[in-house]
Structure 1
């Protein structure tokens, strides 16, 4: 029986990078005798009576590769009984860095010391930012400020003084964010380990001139042989958020592995070209096996 899947993406992000990702996944599916149809999230409407399909010729999916962050749609599809890769809760935990770090803490995943910024209402902000001094006393300088929602290493700030921290806190008032111990040993470099199922399938080191090592931000890559401790940390991070497949970023140069973050929808082109490992084929195989076994 030929299995059919949907690859759900954001209708506003039909960029060359995403189109390349979709084509990679679709070719991998075809090689396994499956069909993977790209479906934009705005081609599906969530209603109180279920998910409305704007395209009437869409085949019912046996599985869904949810490559977006539309949580309301993901939850609605799960309520209708569809198996999502990754699940809605996983996407939610990975999308909000505050929830992600709390999930890591609950699972014992090694990570830098992190303090969540107090909630502030948009256009109201903070009455004062005295909490910044306490955060700086705990974390020390330099420290890193991260907006809770961001991708490709953006919305991340390197802070070296109290004046910078207070100015940034005031500017981000109403924007969910956090404060984190800076891992100076890993300035400008990190390790990406791709997890499929419970296995580390590919790894590369990324290096850049600035403190963010993302390839999108101009970083270079080289194959990397992770230690057993790094592999364990990456797998633990994936399990903490319930990920079927993910990209886990670790800091380098530290005495023990420290997880920076986990991505539930990592683009895989760079790690495929860097390592030669067909990560996309492994991801498709995971989804097909899960559908057969469910």
Structure 2
């Protein structure tokens, strides 16, 4: 470390528990964390030699960026916010996770495609703008006795998902696509192996699975935000391997990987979500492992060294 503290921008649209943990971890390692809303950043070709204006950094740039949250908005607004992250990467600033990885993880259809392409177990999935096609999928799946889960393409914390159940009379009708952006994202429901049901959240940092928990719920949705309760879980080798492969398939520096138990593959689990802007408050409540500290260590010791090793150093004012 030099006499000047390393300056790390924490990109977030809201401050709170996660940003406080990251700022504390940075401070303990001699770095300075500052929260910045991407909506307040701008492209400005009259500003400095680089053409970006990042609040709090004058005419310069931060030494590194941790992405903690990107506010929703119009297609144009989100495009520019991601563009800021792309531009920072082009200027040699380590962005953790970078825009390309976030785009892959936020878009559930791309996540599913990349998991499938990498040979990672994930439930059969169909994504289409055609309501007639989606209805045919429902009818075919219900005829086989499978329930189907319909999810928003962009969404988190179990919000907006619906389960279409099979029955002896057939299946329920397809939910109106208007509420889902005129797009059907359908995934075969994985039936619980126990009562109550549960899934796992595994935290992967720097390519290594570091800690895990079980999320248990009487409801079929296990997210903590939807009432699931957290319980410490052993990080078995098959579970760790599957989570690490899922994170690598999306090119993520850190990820929260959600897996659900099943009996149709050697891992005993299938990946249902990969979160590129993962929350970890629930997981931290059941593990002594310092998640924020590990994220900061990985950024400072691996990610920044990786950029510097390529000679791709950021411009300075």
The two structures share one fold, judged by TM-score above 0.5: yes
**Cα separation, 1, equivalents of 2:173 and 2:93:** 45
The match for 1:178 among 185, 192, 198 is: 185
Tell me how far 1:58 sits from its aligned partner: 7.7
Q: Do the aligned residues in 1 keep the contact of 2:208 with 2:244 (CA within 8 Å)? A: yes
1:212 counterpart SS class = coil
2:38 maps to what in 1?
Answer: 41
**CA–CA separation in structure 2 for the residues paired with 1:104 and 1:218:** 28
The answer to whether residue 292 in structure 2 is matched with residue 285 in structure 1 is no
CA contact (8 A) 1:204 1:221 kept: yes
SS in 2 for 1:155: coil
Contact kept? 1:248, 1:261, Cα under 8 Å: yes
Q: Does 1:153 align with 2:158?
A: yes
The equivalent residue for 1:251 is 260
Query: TM-score normalized by structure 2?
Result: 0.81
Unaligned residue ranges in structure 2 (runs of 5+): 71-80, 309-317
Aligned residues between the structures? 279
- Give the one of 203, 221, 224 matched to 2:212: 203
CA RMSD of aligned residues (A): 2.2
Give 1:267 deviation, angstroms.
1.4
- Per the alignment, in what secondary structure is the counterpart of residue 275 of structure 1? coil
Cα offset for 1:67? 1.8
SS of corresponding position for 1:184: coil
Deviation string 1:41-75 (CA, Å, 9 cap, x unpaired) is 12201357732335564863111001234422222
Alignment of 1:1-294 (within 5 A): 1=2, 2-10=5-13, 14=14, 18-46=15-43, 50-55=51-56, 57=58, 60-69=61-70, 70-116=81-127, 118-119=128-129, 129-138=132-141, 140=144, 141-161=146-166, 164-166=172-174, 168-172=175-179, 174-185=181-192, 188-255=197-264, 256-289=268-301, 290-293=303-306, 294=308
Task: Tell me how far apart the structure 2 counterparts of residues 107 and 137 of structure 1 sit (CA, whole Å).
Answer: 26
Question: Is the radius of gyration larger for structure 1 or structure 2?
Answer: 2
Task: Return 83-92 or 253-262, whichever deviates more.
Answer: 253-262
Q: TM-score, normalised by structure 1?
A: 0.87
CA contact (8 A) 1:196 1:245 kept: yes
Structure 1 residues 173 and 151 mapped into 2: Cα distance closer, same or farther (>3 Å)? closer
